């Protein structure tokens, strides 16, 4: 999948976390962040019947090779390329966001929501 340049939402969102000292700490941090973001994405964008995300379903990939991923894929074609991918690096210190929704009119909102959720807020 080709990554798309994205001006209205930062391509990478830095996550302020304590520097882990063990590989297990790294995977725990990434998993915890992915779980928190995934829960918010599912609750606030998908299950809320938000019109902006009505054509997509939530597809988590907790064991992806380069760290956990949260994908939004087309509801009518779940095997298609993701419309939005949120990748958390294995240390849980960096979040990358790409896909067609990252350059859509929803990009600003996506970035705002993700920054809030990364900071620990849970509200939609």
Task: Answer yes or no: is 38 within a domain.
Answer: yes
Looking at the structure of the chain, the number of domains it has is 1
Distances from the Cα of 116 to the Cαs of 32, 37, 45, 53, 62, in angstroms? Answer: 16, 10, 14, 18, 21
Task: Answer yes or no: is 2 within a domain.
Answer: no
CA distance 109 to 111: 5
Distances from the Cα of 82 to the Cαs of 19, 21, 22, 122, in angstroms? Answer: 31, 33, 32, 24
Task: Answer yes or no: is 1 within a domain.
Answer: no
Task: Answer yes or no: is 96 within a domain.
Answer: yes
Please report the pLDDT score of residue 63 as a whole number.
Answer: 81
CA angle, 87 then 93 then 91, to 5°: 85
CA distance 69 to 88: 6
Is pLDDT at 22 greater than 70 in this prediction? no
Is 0.75 surpassed by the pTM of this model? yes
Count how many residues are written for the chain. 124
Q: How confident is the model at residue 45 (pLDDT cuts 50, 70, 90)?
A: very high
Please report the pLDDT score of residue 40 as a whole number.
Answer: 96
Coil, strand or helix at 24: helix
The share of the chain scoring above pLDDT 70, in percent, equals 79
Residues 82-115: tens digit of each pLDDT: 999 999 988 888 899 999 999 999 999 999 999 9
Task: Answer yes or no: is 121 within a domain.
Answer: no
CA angle, 45 then 63 then 116, to 5°: 35
Is pLDDT at 11 greater than 70 in this prediction? no
Task: Answer yes or no: is 22 within a domain.
Answer: yes
For residue 57, give the nearest of 35, 78, 80, 81 by alpha carbon: 78
Task: Answer yes or no: is 5 within a domain.
Answer: no
Residue numbers of the domain that contains 17:
12-115
Task: Answer yes or no: is 123 within a domain.
Answer: no
């Amino acid at each position: 999948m080709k990554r798309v340049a994205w001006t209205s939402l930062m391509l990478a969102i830095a996550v302020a976390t304590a520097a882990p000292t063990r590989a297990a700490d790294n995977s725990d941090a990434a998993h915890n962040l992915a779980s928190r973001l995934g829960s918010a994405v599912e609750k606030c964008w998908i299950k809320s019947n938000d019109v902006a995300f009505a054509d997509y379903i939530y597809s988590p990939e907790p064991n992806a090779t380069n760290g956990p991923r949260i994908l939004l894929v087309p509801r009518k074609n779940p095997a298609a390329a993701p419309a939005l991918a949120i990748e958390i690096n294995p240390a849980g210190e960096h979040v990358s966001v790409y896909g067609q929704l990252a350059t859509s009119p929803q990009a600003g909102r996506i970035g705002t929501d993700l920054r809030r959720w990364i900071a620990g807020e849970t509200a939609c």
